[in-house]
A and B are shown apart, each in its own frame.
Chain A
Amino acid sequence: MATAPSTAAAAGLPWGPRALIRRARSADEIARLVTLFFALVVVLIAVLLVYQLWTNSAQARHSFGLSFFWNTTWDPVAGQFGALTFVYGTLVTSALGLLIAVPIGLGAAIFLAELAPRRLSDNLTFLIDLLAAVPSVIYGLLGVFILVPLMRTEIQPALKRILGFTPLFQGPAYGIGLLTAGLVLAVMIVPFIISVSREVLLAVPGDQREAALALGATRWEATWRAVVPYARTGIMGSIFLALARALGETMAVTMVIGNNPRISASLFSPGYSIAAVLANEFSEATGNLYLSALVELGLVLFLLTFVLNGLARLLIVLTTGRGTAERT
């Protein structure tokens, strides 16, 4: 506490050499500076990334302006480039992935954290963490060789029979397409949701549970009404981690999505995602405008992730009730 005034004084002149030397005397200060440097490195990488994407997409930005966002043509021959079909494909597949993965992931996490015997829970969690480490190309191959034929011969015809009256499930069943890509993404992101949500649920203090039980709640009521709301912020975090992975997933998606830039109401139709088109076309892109448009797509993906993350933060702030307010 005796050093507090001098630290404060030094904080006023953070870059002077004397101030630095004086600060460096304290091991704590060294640790602070080193870790601060590492934290800044992360910021620096993000800034450099945006800077590079911004400068290298200059030609496309000047040529197309804002119309890049709603133009649906992607024609490398004519030099016409628009991002909308790719944004659509990226958002639809990610949303489908989340729609399937969130209930499964959350349910599994609740079981593992609250209801399963500890031993079973630990073993299952180990397996789930393994799933999270499987390279995405493996999921892509499984998708192509197992899921795609199954979709074409069984699942899509069945969906067509039952839900064919909605525009979502019409059109020829190729097996590959938006729906299949969403399914593969769901399988890939479920382990993230389970793993992180389980940790968060386990971290909820015991009193929370006991208080609810003491008030006469059943075990499920205690879990659903007291424990899950308390862990809501962390669970949302796990979902948005999963979303980030789904948005940027390249290899597995490009193998099953059909790689055709078009917007169609049917989930059976082939689509295209931003990450997939970058992986497909970057290496053979000749011509500056073409390359620049691809870089701008990268910028759009960055922007998309940024906006969705911002919305997630907002959602957490808005939904955080009194029960969790004291958590920092």
Chain B
Amino acid sequence: MNMRKLLAFALLAMLSSAPAWAQNINAAGATFPYPIYSKWFDEYHKLHPNVQINYQSIGSGGGIRQLLDKTVDFGASDGPMTDEQLQQAGFKVLHFPTVLGAAVPSYNIPGVTGELKFTPEAIAGIFLGKVTKWNDPAIAGANPGVKLPADDIVVIHRSDGSGTTYIWTDYLSKVSSEWQSKVGKNTSVNWPVGLGGKGNEGVAGLLKQTPDSIGYVELIYAIQNSLPYGTVKNSSGEFIKASLAGVSAAAAGAAKSMPEDFRVSITNPPGKEAYPISSFTWLLIPAQIQDPAKKTAIKDFLTWMLTSGQQFCEPLAYAKLPKEVVAKEQKAIALIQ
């Protein structure tokens, strides 16, 4: 008993020797938004030296698991939690969109230097393994004047579970009923054809090494590494080259029909300028936070992130949230109790 008291006392002394005002918040989850999150948490810490948010980019799956196990204060995910997961949680979880990501079709065809145009039918056909030659009418029809070879298409996809795959397969599920019934959407799927590369860099490496190949990479990765990528036909029939503005436009288009819990897919949205293969990434925050100091800190961080925090997005090549979504989220912060 004495020993235990002594230990408790020592522990207390240790804890109280740390500054009484330090508020540590732990979070974990998605890797895709890690650069902007670490920038945000860092900048926020500079403004509020008493709040330290530690974020571990262990992947969306890990983020959701740790949130459900209550080993972190909040999680982050590239795909919204499913109804089943929300039920399993045992407590209410709120979704807060933070930034937007997009996936682009990148390719390597010897002799073709121009920008290729892709229709949804062409992309779905290629990834289903039904369109197997580059000069297939599904591709050639949208690219008059481009001399496409009669070579076999090599499909390259991500082998690691990733938010980029989630966006890509979510899009394919929307534009192709066959894809939806045969393959579906997830961070990893049962690919009908193709080779798998680990990470954006793995896919980009395979693309570079394999003639006549096509794959998808994260927009930011494509911009930063100046990979060639094609335009994609959106729901208004326009061929759009992915850009940060095009992605924000897609989010704005989807904002009108945004559900209250923000769990929404914005692939193939309405809007003339909208790039069709994009998605939000979310922070997953428990609706009830016991510790009042933590609650205040998290709510304050969210408010800051939605206003001043947005200025850090574009320098890091993340698409900003459209105004409509920001306004909705600011209201939702009040739901955290």
Interface residues of A (CB under 8 A from B): 73-78, 80, 144, 148-149, 152, 172, 174-176, 254-255, 258-261, 270, 272, 276, 279-288, 291
Picked from B85, B188, B210, the residue with its CB within 8 Å of the CB of A281 is B188
Q: How far is the CB of B108 from chain A (nearest CB, A)?
A: 13
Nearest 4 Cβ contacts at the A-B interface: A284-B161, A259-B196, A283-B59, A259-B159
Q: Which residues of A contact B88 (CB under 8 A)?
A: 288
Query: Interface digits, B201-234 against A, CB 8 Å rule (1 contact, 0 not)?
Result: 0100110011000000000000000000000000
Instruction: Known contacts A149-B209, A283-B58, A284-B188; decide if A260 and B194 are in contact (CB<8 Å).
Output: yes
Query: Interface digits, B183-206 against A, CB 8 Å rule (1 contact, 0 not)?
Result: 111111111001111100010011
| B152 interfacial by beta-carbon distance below 8 Å | yes
Q: How far is the CB of A25 from chain B (nearest CB, A)?
A: 28
Instruction: Known contacts A77-B189, A286-B60, A286-B187; decide if A280 and B195 are in contact (CB<8 Å).
Output: no
Q: Which residues of B contact A280 (CB under 8 A)?
A: 159-161, 188, 196, 198
Instruction: Known contacts A281-B160, A285-B61; decide if A259 and B205 are in contact (CB<8 Å).
Output: no
**CA separation between A175 and B152, bound complex, in Å?**
15
**CA separation between A254 and B189, bound complex, in Å?**
17
| B162 interfacial by beta-carbon distance below 8 Å | yes
Q: Which residues of A contact B210 (CB under 8 A)?
A: 152, 174-175
Give the one of A148, A176, A286 with max B CB within 10 A: A286
Q: How far is the CB of B81 from chain A (nearest CB, A)?
A: 8
Picked from A75, A255, A259, A282, the residue with its CB within 8 Å of the CB of B189 is A75
Interface residues of B (CB under 8 A from A): 31, 58-62, 64-65, 79, 82, 84-85, 88, 152, 154, 159-163, 183-191, 194-198, 202, 205-206, 209-210
Asked if A258 and B79 make an inter-chain contact with CB atoms under 8 angstroms apart, the answer reads no
Asked if B195 and A174 make an inter-chain contact with CB atoms under 8 angstroms apart, the answer reads yes
Picked from B31, B163, B197, the residue with its CB within 8 Å of the CB of A259 is B197
Q: Which residues of A contact B163 (CB under 8 A)?
A: 284
Asked if A175 and B209 make an inter-chain contact with CB atoms under 8 angstroms apart, the answer reads yes
Asked if A255 and B198 make an inter-chain contact with CB atoms under 8 angstroms apart, the answer reads yes
User: Can you give 17 A-B contacts (C-beta < 8 A)?
Assistant: A73-B190, A75-B190, A76-B187, A76-B188, A77-B189, A149-B209, A174-B210, A175-B209, A176-B195, A259-B197, A260-B194, A279-B160, A282-B161, A283-B62, A284-B187, A286-B61, A286-B186
Q: How far is the CB of A4 from chain B (nearest CB, A)?
A: 41
Can you name the residue of chain A whose Cβ is closest to the Cβ of B187?
A284
Asked if B189 and A260 make an inter-chain contact with CB atoms under 8 angstroms apart, the answer reads no
Can you name the residue of chain B whose Cβ is closest to the Cβ of A258?
B195
**CA separation between A280 and B199, bound complex, in Å?**
9
Asked if B195 and A270 make an inter-chain contact with CB atoms under 8 angstroms apart, the answer reads yes
**CA separation between A259 and B190, bound complex, in Å?**
11
Q: Which residues of B contact A285 (CB under 8 A)?
A: 61, 161, 187-188
Asked if A77 and B190 make an inter-chain contact with CB atoms under 8 angstroms apart, the answer reads yes
**CA separation between A77 and B186, bound complex, in Å?**
6
Q: Which residues of A contact B205 (CB under 8 A)?
A: 144
Asked if B190 and A260 make an inter-chain contact with CB atoms under 8 angstroms apart, the answer reads no
Asked if B195 and A283 make an inter-chain contact with CB atoms under 8 angstroms apart, the answer reads no
Q: How far is the CB of A304 from chain B (nearest CB, A)?
A: 21
